[in-house]
Amino acid sequence: MHRAEDGSLWTVEAYLEKGALVQPLDDFLNHGLGRIVVLRFEDPALAAKGAALAFDRIANGAPIDYDEAFDGDDPNELFCSEIGPWAIALAGGPTDLPRSRTAFPQDENPAFFAAMGIDADALMAPVDMLYDPRFTIVGEWR
């Protein structure tokens, strides 16, 4: 989430249908999502800087497509769970977020992953951030 100079709150997100986007927090909350978890990075100043840089890049830069291949090492396309680590890396923070990534057992079903266009052996799943000790859960709504 990004807090603008005027105090307004914005989300920085990525959706399959739309790619990376920013939207006012109220608009995000009106989507009727079933669960929202708010995480706080251990360095709030770095996280705020990353949120501001990510907001500016997405709001004012060239469009960023959704990363259907789930390649967390290529910032030219982004998927939902990639936004936070990407933003923190933009601010000069660690590039190993989250520490553990969900394994994709490509060798067990290569045809499935090939049909989906996924080459990654691991991806940044939303749950992976919950288990990274550099983040604290500060809120959850269901």
Lowest mean pLDDT among 26-30, 51-55, 80-84, 104-108: 104-108
Residue burial 128-142, b: 16+ Cβ < 10 Å; e: rest? bbeebebbeeeeeee
Q: How many CB atoms lie within 10 A of CB 112?
A: 12
Q: The pTM is what?
A: 0.89
- Asked if 82 contacts 67 with a C-beta cutoff of 8 angstroms, the reply is yes
- Asked if 14 contacts 70 with a C-beta cutoff of 8 angstroms, the reply is no
Model pLDDT, residue 25 = 93
Measured CA to CA, the distance from residue 101 to residue 8 in angstroms comes to 33
Digit-coded pLDDT (tens) for 58-108: 999 999 999 988 888 888 999 999 999 999 999 999 999 999 999 988 888
Digit-coded pLDDT (tens) for 115-133: 988 888 888 888 999 999 9
* Average pLDDT value over all residues in the chain: 92
3-state secondary structure the chain: CEECCCCCEEEEEEECCCEEEEEEHHHHHCCCCCCEEEEEECCHHHHHHHHHHHHHHHHHCCCCEECCCCCCCCCCEECHHHHHHHHHHHCCCCCCCCCCCEECCHHHCHHHHHHHCCCCCEECCHHHHHCCCCEEEEEEEC
Q: Which two tokens stand for residue 30?
A: 């009106």
Give 113 or 19, the one with higher predicted confidence: 19
Model pLDDT, residue 108 = 87
Give 32 or 49, the one with higher predicted confidence: 49
Model pLDDT, residue 46 = 97
pLDDT at 20 over 90: yes
